[in-house]
């Protein structure tokens, strides 16, 4: 054997440390991506038109139904 057991353990520890750093970096990136995807202000800006149309239609339909209770057909 060309390397001593101590050197082998040090190399293994270095590999594990590097793997842990890569895993931590991946986890941070995924967390940042999830936070960006779930950002309420950003989602509200992106879907403002669709939300406005849906709320307007619901208001129109509920107003029509409410007025229909007081009129005769």
Cα(52)–Cα(55) distance, rounded to whole angstroms? 5
Q: Considering the chain, what percentage of its residues have pLDDT values greater than 90?
A: 81
Characterize 30-47 residue by residue with b for buried, 16 or more Cβ atoms within 10 angstroms of its Cβ, and e for exposed: eeeeeeeeeeeeeeeeee
**pLDDT recorded at residue 35:** 95
User: Domain coordinates of the chain in residue numbers?
Assistant: 1-38, 40-73
Q: Considering the chain, what percentage of its residues have pLDDT values greater than 70?
A: 96
């Amino acid at each position: 054997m060309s390397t001593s057991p101590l050197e082998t353990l040090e190399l293994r520890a270095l590999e594990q440390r590097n793997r842990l750093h890569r895993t931590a970096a991946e986890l941070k990136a995924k967390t940042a991506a999830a936070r960006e995807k779930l950002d309420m202000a950003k989602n509200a800006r992106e879907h403002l038109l669709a939300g406005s149309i849906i709320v307007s239609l619901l208001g129109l339909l509920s107003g029509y139904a409410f007025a229909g209770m007081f009129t005769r057909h």
